[in-house]
Amino acid sequence: MLNTPTLVLGDAHLGVASKDAERALLRLLRDMPSRARSLVIMGDMFDFWFAWRHAMPRTGFRVLAALADLHDVGVPVLWIGGNHDCWGGDALMAETGAQYTLQPWIGSIGPWRAELVHGDGLREVEDAPYRRLRRVLRHPLAIRAFGMLHPNLASRVALASSHTSRTRRAGDEGRGLLAVGTRSLSAPDGPNLVIHGHSHVPMLRRAGAGWYANAGAWYLDQQYLLIESDRISLRAWRDSGEDVVLHSGERNVEEATAEREEVLRRI
C-alpha cells in the first residue's frame, strides 16, 4: 500500500530530455517531502538504462541520488519499469531503495484500488509486432550478449535504435491505452484507478467505474499526477512552486454528486 498524497511521474527520458526539464525534475524531487508521502515512476525515467556488472550509465546520476535521498527520509518510491529502462532493475533498487517491477502493479494507493502498468505492448493489434520483439530483447541470452559490449558502444547502439519511440506522442493520441484501461475499470471487482505511461499523452478521464490517468511525458510537458485520498489531479509544474491544476476529479463521483444535490435541496 502507498500512502497518499502520492505523486506520479511519467516518461522523463533522461539522456535526451533538455537540461531545463532535468533541472525541473530535480527541483520537484527535492521538494517531494513537502508535497507527497509516496512517489510512483511510470517507467522510461531514462531514455536508455542498462546495468553492467561493474558499470552503469552516468546519465541521470543526480536524479538517482535524489531518489535515494527520498528513500532515506522515508518517502517510498515505486518504479514501474518501461521499455527504455527495463534492463537492470536490481541495480536501480540497490542504488535508490525504490521498489522496481516490470509486472503490472495492483494494490492500494490510500483508499484507491489501483492498477499501474507502463503501457508498452498492451494494445492487442497495434502492438503485436512489438510484443514479439520484446520477447527477444528481454530474453536472458539477449541481455547477456548485450552486456558483453563495451558500455560506450552499447549506449550508442541503444540510443540510436530508440529514436522513434521517444520523439513523438502516440499516433492514436492515447486512445488505445485508454480503451485498455477502460476494460479494466469496467471489470467486476476491478480497480477504480488505472494509470499508464508510454503514450506521452497527458490524460485524466472518467472511465468505467473509476478514473483513467496518464501523467504524460515529463521531458515534453513537465506535468504530473497527484493522488489524494478523495481526488486525483493532473498538474503542471511551475518553478514558483504554485503548480497549475489542469484537471481533477473526485474519487467517488456518485457520492460527491449526491452530496451536492442534497446541499442544493436545502438551499
SS3 of 14, please? strand
Which domains can be identified in the chain, with CATH numbers? 6-266 (3.60.21.10)
pLDDT of residue 161: 66
The 10s digit of each residue's pLDDT in 122-161 is: 777 777 776 787 778 777 887 787 777 777 776 777 666 6
Q: In whole angstroms, how far apart are CA 245 and each of 115, 128, 224, 233, 237?
A: 23, 36, 10, 7, 9
Give the count of beta carbons closer than 10 Å to the beta carbon of residue 130.
15
CA dist 238 and 21 (Å) reads 11
How far apart, in whole angstroms, are the C-alpha atoms of residue 196 and residue 179? 11
What pLDDT is stored for residue 54 in this prediction? 78
Averaged pLDDT, 112-127: 86
